[in-house]
A and B are shown apart, each in its own frame.
Chain A
Amino acid sequence: MSRNPDVIVIGSGGGGAVIAKELGEIGLSVWVLDAGPWYGNCKWPNPNQHRGAESSDDPKDLDGNLYREQITRREGDMNDIVTGKFRWGPADRRRGPWFRNIPDQAILWQNAGIGGTTLHYYSNSPRPYPHSINHQWPITYEELIPYFEKVEETLPVEFAPTTSKEAVFYYGAERSGFSLNDSLDVSTVGYRPQPNAILPPNEHLMDPNYSLEELSHMEGCTLAGHCGQGCPYGPSLEKMAKRSTNISYVPLALKTKKVTFRPNAFVTKVLTEMNPSGEHQAVGVQFRDTWTGETEEVNAKIVVMAAGCIETPRLWLNSDLPNNPWVGRGLTNHYMDTVTGTFDEDTLMNILGQPEINPFVGHTSGARLDYPGVGMIETLGESPGLTAQQLFGFSQAGYYQYNDASKPGGRVVGEPLKEDMGDYRRTLTLLAITEDDVQYRNRVQLDPHIKDEHGHVPLVHYKPSHQDEKKRDYLVEIATNILKHAGAKSVYRSNLAPNLYIHLESTMRMGFVVDSSCEAYQVNRLYIADNSVHYNSAGGVNPTLTTQALATRTAEKIVEKYF
């Protein structure tokens, strides 16, 4: 591991791993520091119990069998927000998660660890809507197309296969009057399969001569439905079906022999100095080993922040970088809601030839309806604990059974909860995802009163605009219609609370905090490569592919300017 690399990347999630691989391929030496553990690397056989090695830079360290042992696919073990292997917290699960102060009803779903939040993401990789980029962002959609294509080939991205829940969704969408949209560049309303970073099913999946055990060690998706739990199926780590960045881009970065990843390293400060012309420039970072508590500094020619929409502004503010009124401001989260339809067996027999949908089968989110100008709707089929928590346990409308008619939705508890969950196998849930407005009041700031071992903790605030509320209501109406047209006997709306953070964007916006090459206006040699640079909420479309395309482009910009 070379001391003082050319580039330091902070975070190895959706953006960080991509830019590390791109820079490594160009020939620059790169260090990637990530705050969490590394699963599937033989240098960390027990990553939650022991510190293990310091870093890894050899693709031979990657171990698919070890990954399969560690990624247990049990939702409590993997996704518990307090103790899960996928959480925003240190590798040592005996310790609590890292605190974010969200003074409201809230779920903030992010991970520390090599792969970051892509460890649990559903691999949804649509392009943003052209109309949400053109004439708004400082760059054009057309300029991004070659980068979309490169990422789509590298991950790779393919349209999701049809299983029962997609079949019911397409049936309902068709009968609601929507048509199929055969495009990756979406300007019109229509439904289509999700473009997902998941390998297509193995050609023998439906052949009973191959056991599912055999198939789970072969290339291709087995439709096991564990996208959110990490899904460790495939012949080797880099050929696993689900293409989180720890599976796709990290192995490619290691193959360049130029990239070193160091897990368990929480960056607490970006180091800067003044150049002769009086401008700030980044010269390195300070980080803390999350096991030993030791602090180290490392210098580099370029620093890339890819810590996500919460931690990147927090790090800027905790580093005392120059004041910019837009740092942390303009937070969007796609103001989401869910609508769940319950079907009777006869209806499902007619559509599917079987009496159940089994929402846990197949891609967790495999089909979508695009609605440029409003947002999108996607299918959602999680395991029971996550389903119950989000659909029935999290709402801004109190308790359904005790509400008057003026308040739609609300939590469901008691016997009705058991009844609804008893119908789990015959349900289809649709997630309404709003193209929400950038508002200055929505923000990440430092909590002036509360600190953890990494400095002041982030304080997060989000309130949708009236326009956002109208758009969400409209999407909920469409989703309800789709379910009813498919034959749902009852439809239930959660009316989710606004502080639900699954898609976070635009807290370090291009044109305000960074320029169109994603370099900070006020600090030379400091770049950002995560969702925070998005100018807006990208049309209400899942943001990961946009970030990955931008990270690919930013790597080129860095080399053009500084190397």
Chain B
Amino acid sequence: MRSTAPQDYTLSTFRALANTLIPPPTNQDELESTPGASDMCIYEYIVYALDHYIPIQTYVYQGNIPLALPTALMINEAARQYAYTNRPPFSYQQATQSNHHFFSSLSRQDRIQTLAHLEDLNLDLYTLPTPFQNNAGLIKHVTDALNRLTLFGYYSEWSSYGSTRLNPPDERYQEFFPLSWYHVGYPGVSLGYRDFRGFLLRIRRNEGGR
């Protein structure tokens, strides 16, 4: 896949998001057992999900409204407004140096505060890109979804599709056991468990079920 500037921008924003919600371990020795969400490429999962989330009819054709880029723009705009208000002197110069990657230039804690402000609509909604501009419901919905997608992407088996992870859903194959499942102790797909401890009650049908 050819890399383009908007793609880089989108991916790096969601890399910062994934890194914020599920960070890599502070101790490098634990990186293999409990990697961060960005180590497991969860930002690619988020981009795919956002770009396929809302398929509606536009004026010309039926298709997906790709939300990843506008969502990345929205997060960065929210980060910019958060930093100007709460983290002076966050200067214009600083912002331009970070090449409009405002969100990733913030600390982890400030990034979470940015998401919270966005979800609480605590910013100027007019400055947001289409389709989020002045669209409070969609802002709340998608900001919430960013959390759910990151957590589901990380703790489901998605990362274990390895080199096939970005293929269409029916052309993905598990290449290894998901690290997150290993970390939480989930054995994965199971045929059954021998943990039958009896019945507390049985239904008595011949008595009319009562």
- Please give the residue numbers on chain A whose beta carbons come within 8 Å of chain B beta carbons, in ascending order: 46, 48-49, 72-77, 79-83, 93-99, 101-107, 145, 148-149, 152-153, 157-159, 161-164, 166-167, 170, 180, 182-185, 192-193, 195, 200-201, 205-206, 208, 212-213, 215-216, 222-226, 233, 356, 358, 360-362, 383-389, 392-394, 398-399, 401-402, 411, 413-415, 417-418, 421-422, 424-425, 450-453, 457, 497
Question: A413 near B55 (CB under 8 angstroms)?
Answer: no
Task: Report yes or no: B62 in contact with A452, Cβ–Cβ below 8 A.
Answer: yes
Chain B residues with Cβ below 8 Å from A222 are 191-193
- Picked from B23, B64, B108, B193, the residue with its CB within 8 Å of the CB of A96 is B64
Which residues of chain A have C-beta atoms less than 8 A from B120's C-beta?
398
Q: Is B6 an interface residue (CB 8 A)?
A: no
- The reply to whether A103 and B21 contact each other, CB–CB distance below 8 Å, is no
Q: Is the CB of A414 within 8 A of B195?
A: no
A183-B210, A402-B113 given; A163·B201 CB < 8 A = no
Q: Is the CB of A185 within 8 A of B193?
A: no
In the assembled complex, which residues on chain A have CB atoms less than 8 Å from the CB atom of B39? none
Most buried by A among B52, B185, B200, B205: B200
Residues of chain B lying within 8 A (CB to CB) of residue A162:
196-200
Judging by beta carbons under 8 Å apart, are A75 and B157 in contact? yes
Leading 4 A-B pairs by shortest Cβ distance: A103-B137, A222-B192, A385-B156, A105-B144
- CB-defined A-B contacts under 8 Å, sample of 26: A48-B169, A73-B189, A74-B157, A76-B156, A77-B169, A96-B64, A104-B140, A152-B209, A161-B196, A161-B199, A162-B199, A162-B200, A216-B192, A223-B195, A224-B190, A358-B193, A361-B193, A385-B153, A388-B151, A392-B151, A413-B112, A417-B151, A418-B34, A424-B184, A452-B56, A453-B62
A534 CB to nearest B CB, Å: 21
A73–B186 CA distance with the chains assembled, in angstroms: 13
Contacts of B25 in A (CB 8 A): 418
**B150 interface residue, CB < 8 Å from A?**
yes
- In the bound complex, what is the Cα–Cα distance between A413 and B17 (angstroms)? 11
Q: Which of A46, A167, A383, A453 has the most CB of B within 10 A?
A: A383
Q: Does B49 contact A (CB under 8 A)?
A: yes
17 extra interface residue pairs, beta carbon distance < 8 Å, beyond A208-B194, A226-B190: A76-B156, A95-B55, A99-B56, A105-B143, A105-B144, A106-B144, A153-B205, A161-B196, A161-B199, A170-B200, A216-B191, A222-B191, A222-B192, A223-B193, A401-B112, A418-B183, A422-B184
Closest to A159 in B: B201
Contacting residues, chain B, for A99 (C-beta < 8 A): 53-56
Contact with A along B48-62 (1 / 0, CB 8 A): 110011111100001
B155 close to A387 (CB less than 8 A): yes
* A212/B192 in contact, CB under 8 A: yes
Do B136 and A103 touch (CB < 8 A)? yes
Question: Could you say which of B55, B113, B198 contacts A161, with CB atoms under 8 Å apart?
Answer: B198
> What residues of A have a CB within 8 angstroms of the CB of B26 in the complex?
415
Residue numbers in A under 8 Å from B210 (CB-CB): 183-185
Say whether A413 contacts B21, CB under 8 Å.
yes
Given A158-B202, A402-B113; A393-B148 close (CB under 8 Å):
yes
* B22 touches which of A73, A81, A418 (Cβ 8 Å): A418
Contacts of A192 in B (CB 8 A): 200-201
Minimum distance in angstroms from A76 CB to a CB of chain B: 4
Contacts of B194 in A (CB 8 A): 205-206, 208, 212, 223
Chain A nearest CB from B152 CB (Å) reads 4
B101-135 CB contact bits vs A (8 Å, 1 = yes)? 00000001100110110011000000000000001
| Least CB separation from A106: chain B residue | B141
Taking a contact as CB atoms under 8 Å apart, the answer to whether A223 and B203 are in contact is no
Distance A73 CA – B35 CA, assembled complex (angstroms): 24
With A80-B156, A195-B203 as known contacts, state yes or no: A105 contacts B119, CB within 8 Å.
yes
Q: Within the assembled complex, what's the spacing in Å between the Cα atoms of A127 and B194? A: 29
> Chain B nearest CB: distance from A242 CB in Å?
13
Flag whether B29 is at the interface (Cβ < 8 A): no
Residue in A73, A95, A402 whose beta carbon sits within 8 Å of that of B116 in the complex:
A402
How distant is the Cα of A453 from the Cα of B63 in the complex, in angstroms?
10
Enumerate chain B residues within 8 angstroms of A389, measured Cβ to Cβ: 148, 151-152, 155
Q: In the complex the two chains form, is A164's CB within 8 Å of B195's CB?
A: yes
For B199, the chain A residues whose CB sits under 8 A away are 159, 161-162, 193, 200
Distance in Å: Cβ of A244 to nearest Cβ of chain B: 18
With contacts A96-B53, A97-B55, A107-B148 taken as known, whether A212 is within 8 angstroms of B191 at the C-beta atoms is yes
Contacting pair A94 B137 (CB below 8 A) = no
Complex Cα spacing A55 to B198, Å: 43
Q: Output the least CB separation between A538 and chain B (Å).
A: 18
Q: Which of B52, B57, B135, B141 contacts A82 (CB 8 A)?
A: B52
With an 8 A cutoff between CB atoms, is B89 at the interface? no
Docked pose: A81 CA to B156 CA in angstroms: 12
Contact A388 to B155, CB < 8 A, known contacts A414-B108, A497-B144: yes
Q: A215-B191, A388-B154, A414-B23 are in contact. Are A201 and B205 (CB under 8 A)?
A: no
**B82 vs chain A, min Cβ distance (A):** 13
B20 within 8 A of A: yes
Q: Say which residue of B56, B135, B200 sits within 8 Å of A457 (CB atoms).
A: B56
B180 within 8 A of A: yes
Query: Is there an interface contact between A452 and B57, defined as CB atoms closer than 8 Å?
Result: yes
Which of B137, B200, B203 sits near A104, CB closer than 8 Å?
Answer: B137
**Shortest distance in angstroms between B17's beta carbon and chain A's nearest beta carbon?**
10
Instruction: Indicate if the CB atoms of B170 and A48 lie closer than 8 Å.
Output: yes
Residues of A within 8 A of B49 (CB): 80, 82-83
Nearest Cβ distance between residue B201 and chain A, in whole angstroms?
A: 5
| Residues B195 and A358 in contact, CB atoms below 8 Å apart | yes
Shortest C-beta distance, A358 to chain B (Å), equals 7
Tell which of A48, A80, A356 has the most Cβ of chain B within 10 Å. A80
Q: Determine if B31 is an interface residue (Cβ-Cβ < 8 Å).
A: no
> With an 8 A cutoff between CB atoms, is B168 at the interface?
yes
A residues less than 8 Å from B135 (CB atoms): 103
Across the interface, do A105 and B140 meet the contact criterion of CB distance under 8 Å? yes
A172 to B67, CA, bound (A): 46
Contacts of B184 in A (CB 8 A): 384, 421-422, 424-425
Contact check: which of B53, B186, B205, B209 meets A97 at CB < 8 Å? Answer: B53
Cα distance A424–B198 in the bound complex, in angstroms: 24
B14 CB-CB contact with A under 8 Å: no
- Cross-chain contact A451 with B56 (CB below 8 angstroms): yes
Cβ distance B18 to chain A, nearest Cβ, rounded Å: 11
Listed residue (B119, B192, B200, B210) with the most chain A CB atoms within 10 angstroms of its CB: B192
Q: Can you name the residue of chain A whose Cβ is closest to the Cβ of B197?
A: A162
Q: Check if A384 sits within 8 Å of B196, measured CB to CB.
A: no
A222–B193 CA distance with the chains assembled, in angstroms: 6
Question: Chain B contacts of A425 at CB under 8 A?
Answer: 184-185
Complex: how many Å from CA A99 to CA B56? 7
- When chains A and B are docked, how far (Å) is the Cα of A522 from the Cα of B65? 38
Residue of A nearest to B199 (CB): A161
Q: Are B203 and A184 in contact (CB under 8 A)?
A: yes
Shortest Cβ distance from B50 into A: residue: A82
